[in-house]
């Protein structure tokens, strides 16, 4: 298994199946800004709400060969295992990304447990061997990874841009970031004091830039 984060902005993705599992998968794809189509004769109320809100497309029919064509990614989670297997086989032959939710052996990728905090995305996988353990780890770490960490990333992005402007060499930038995020700064982040953490990090950046300038002279 090789870990990878897919950028699915505006990419067409197909979900085969209309139950609660399909709804959960649709939510994840929507969070990734994908264009989501659900293929199923019937769909659950939660998916109907997404259709009515214009967030997903519903093709109200069962799977037929060729329905998978044109999609970047395919999720097979219908109650009909025969339809799932047929769709997966056809999509794999086309070189598409395919996941059969309850049969990783029929897939070329698997879905990890996910924790989202704004731009922060953490995933946990057991390579399909122990999904219950993945869920337990996710629940355990969800308590520790508060929304404050997602907010902190946005502040870090601004400081990173300043560091790129102030430190012209990649070696200097790497040296700064290797020692920048110390425990005292991250403790402030965990406590929700983003402003204090940002101020302390900016002080470190200024001091580091002054040291680099002194060395160059």
- Residue whose C-alpha is closest to residue 26's, from 55, 2, 4: 55
Strands 56-59 and 35-39: parallel
Strand ranges across the sheet with 56-59: 56-59, 35-39, 12-16, 73-76, 97-100
The residue ranges of every structural domain in the chain are: 12-111, 147-216
Look up tokens 């009515």; give the residue.
52
pLDDT tens track for 158-215: 999 999 999 989 999 999 999 999 999 999 998 989 999 999 999 999 999 988 887 7
pLDDT at position 69, please?
96
CATH class of segment(s) 12-111: alpha beta
pLDDT at position 125, please?
85
pLDDT tens track for 120-131: 888 888 877 888
Instruction: Assign 167 to helix, strand or coil.
Output: coil
pLDDT at position 159, please?
94
Query: What does each C-alpha distance from 99 to 15, 54, 92, 182 come to in angstroms?
Result: 10, 25, 10, 40
pLDDT at 34 over 80: yes
Instruction: Assign 42 to helix, strand or coil.
Output: coil
- Residue whose C-alpha is closest to residue 38's, from 104, 87, 85: 87
Q: How many CB atoms are located within 10 Å of the residue 159 CB? A: 16
Q: Which two tokens stand for residue 154?
A: 């946005």
pLDDT at 1 over 80: no
Q: pLDDT-derived band of residue 73, with 50, 70 and 90 as boundaries? A: very high
pLDDT at position 177, please?
94
pLDDT at position 51, please?
98
| Contacts with 205 (C-beta within 8 Å, 6 or more apart), sequence order | 159, 162, 163, 166, 176, 180
DSSP 106: G
Percent of the chain with pLDDT over 90: 71
pLDDT at 107 over 90: yes
pLDDT at 217 over 80: no
Range in 29-33, 114-118, 194-198 with the lowest mean pLDDT: 114-118
């Amino acid at each position: 298994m090789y870990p990878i984060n897919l950028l699915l902005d505006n990419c067409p993705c197909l979900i085969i199946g209309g139950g609660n599992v399909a709804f959960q998968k649709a939510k994840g794809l929507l969070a990734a800004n994908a264009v989501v189509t659900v293929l199923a004769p019937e769909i659950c109320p939660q998916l109907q709400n997404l259709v009515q809100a214009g967030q997903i497309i519903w093709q109200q029919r069962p799977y037929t060969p060729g329905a998978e064509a044109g999609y970047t990614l395919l999720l097979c989670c219908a109650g009909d295992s025969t339809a799932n297997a047929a769709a997966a086989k056809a999509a794999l032959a086309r070189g598409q990304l395919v996941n059969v939710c309850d049969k990783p052996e029929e897939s070329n990728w698997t879905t990890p447990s996910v924790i989202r905090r704004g731009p922060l995305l953490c995933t946990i996988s057991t390579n399909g061997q122990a999904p219950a353990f993945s869920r337990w780890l996710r629940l355990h770490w969800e308590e520790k990874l508060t929304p404050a960490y997602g907010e902190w990333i946005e502040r870090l992005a601004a400081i990173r841009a300043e560091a790129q402007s102030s430190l012209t060499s990649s070696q200097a930038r790497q040296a700064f970031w290797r020692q920048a995020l110390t425990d005292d700064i991250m403790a402030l982040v965990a406590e929700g004091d983003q402003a204090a953490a940002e101020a302390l990090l900016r002080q470190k950046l200024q001091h580091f830039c002054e040291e680099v300038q002194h060395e160059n002279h």
